[in-house]
Amino acid sequence: MMKLSYSPASPYVRKVMACAIARGIEGRIEKVPMNPHVSPAELLAMNPLSKVPALLGEDGVAYFDSPVICEYLDTIGDAAPLLPAAGPARLAALRQQAIGDGIMDAAVGRRGESQRPKEEARDGVMLRQTAAVARALDLIEREVDALSGPLTLGTLTVACALGYLDFRFAADAWRDGHPKLTTWYESVARHRALAETVPVG
């Protein structure tokens, strides 16, 4: 049994679980709850960076971070891989993963900043994070056609990033000004891999 160090609100953890469900291997993963912010010894033994997700694989190797874990999961089971073989399709999926992970990085960072005492420097950082997300959404809207087709690591990552914006920053209404992305998200969100991993809390 693989072991996934896990926290329920993490969009990166959601991405990993969505990949596992999409490939039908979620039953081979035991989820171990972990608060990375208090650096528990069990997590540090797997990931010295004290971040979730971290996955103890069937080969005994502790994998992190989420892109690496998802690539490893592609080697488990018989389902088609979520990351295409080397070439333009793989590069497209990796690029989508990068923009989705980038939205998560900016939004998770902004959420962390928002919980610190208010000061000018903090507000400046949050404004940059907000602007980065806005520009990333505009890029994905322009390139929305590339999201169609079977699920990939790239499209799942973008969907999890949008789900995190709904979860933590619903008031920002990311759908405004992104009609094509809104339509795409409505349909992709129905996939079991995403429907069963919606963050709660």
β-strand partners of 24: none
Question: Using the rule CB under 6 A, is 52 a contact of ligand GSH?
Answer: yes
* Distance in Å, CB of 93 to ligand GSH, minimum: 15
Segment interacting with ligand GSH, rule: CB under 6 A, options 51-59, 118-126, 134-142, 172-180 = 51-59
Chain centroid offset of residue 97 CA: 8
Comparing CB distances to ligand GSH, the nearer of 3 and 180 is 3
Question: Using the rule CB under 6 A, is 65 a contact of ligand GSH?
Answer: yes
Segment interacting with ligand GSH, rule: CB under 6 A, options 22-30, 48-56, 83-91, 144-152 = 48-56
Comparing CB distances to ligand GSH, the nearer of 81 and 199 is 199
CA–CA distance, 185 with 195 (Å, rounded to integer)? 12
Question: Using the rule CB under 6 A, is 53 a contact of ligand GSH?
Answer: yes
SS (H, E, C) the chain: CEEEEECCCCHHHHHHHHHHHHCCCHHHEEEEECCHHHCCHHHHHHCCCCCCCEEECCCCCEECCHHHHHHHHCCCCCCCCCCCCCCHHHHHHHHHHHHHHHHHHHHHHHHHHHCCCCCHHHHHHHHHHHHHHHHHHHHHHHCHHHHCCCCCHHHHHHHHHHHHHHHHCHHHCCCCCCHHHHHHHHHHCCCHHHHCCCCCC
36, 84, 100, 154: which one binds ligand GSH (CB under 6 A): 36
Q: Are 152 and 96 in contact (CB under 8 A)?
A: yes
Comparing CB distances to ligand GSH, the nearer of 66 and 96 is 66
Among residue numbers 170 through 199, which ones bind ligand GSH (CB under 6 A)? none
Among residue numbers 2 through 31, which ones bind ligand GSH (CB under 6 A)? 10, 12
Segment interacting with ligand GSH, rule: CB under 6 A, options 49-57, 92-100, 155-163, 184-192 = 49-57
Question: Using the rule CB under 6 A, is 100 a contact of ligand GSH?
Answer: no
How many residues sit close enough to ligand GSH to count as binding (CB under 6 A)?
A: 12
Question: Using the rule CB under 6 A, is 51 a contact of ligand GSH?
Answer: yes
Question: Using the rule CB under 6 A, is 160 a contact of ligand GSH?
Answer: no
Residue type, 58: E
Query: Which residues contact ligand GSH by CB under 6 A?
Result: 10, 12, 36-37, 50-53, 65-66, 101, 108
